[in-house]
Amino acid sequence: MLEPQALDRVIEMAWEDRTPFEAIQTNYGLNESQVIKLMRRALKPGSFRAWRARVSGRKTKHLALRSPAVSRGYCPTQYKHR
């Protein structure tokens, strides 16, 4: 089981358009199907359906389908500075 902070980060990474599932697996050891199960448990049903619709078939969520032009997993302005 993931710590609450790690769980929050996995959910955040799963929502990010440019963060591939492979990055989640590298950082947290969860493959795509495990991330889907985690998201199903953690999100409200409507939020889960919206997330699945958003990531299904999205090329940037899978390294093998990703264009070589996409060189990083996030936008520089994406993260809040504390």
Q: What is the pLDDT of residue 80?
A: 58
Answer yes or no: is 68 within a domain. Answer: no
Answer yes or no: is 35 within a domain. Answer: yes
pLDDT digits (tens, 9 = 90+) for 23-68: 999 999 999 999 999 999 999 999 999 999 998 877 777 666 656 6
Report H helices in 1-82: 4-15, 21-28, 32-42, 45-55
The Cα 15–Cα 64 span in angstroms is 19
| Residue-range definition of the domain harbouring residue 19 | 4-59
Answer yes or no: is 52 within a domain. Answer: yes
The Cα 44–Cα 21 span in angstroms is 21
Lowest mean pLDDT among 4-8, 12-16, 28-32, 78-82: 78-82
Answer yes or no: is 75 within a domain. Answer: no
pLDDT digits (tens, 9 = 90+) for 56-80: 877 777 666 656 665 555 555 555 5
Write down the pTM of the prediction.
0.75
Give the chain's end-to-end CA distance (angstroms, integer): 27
- Tell me which of 63 and 8 has the higher pLDDT: 8
Answer yes or no: is 42 within a domain. Answer: yes
Answer yes or no: is 64 within a domain. Answer: no
The Cα 56–Cα 2 span in angstroms is 24
Q: How many domains does the chain fold into?
A: 1
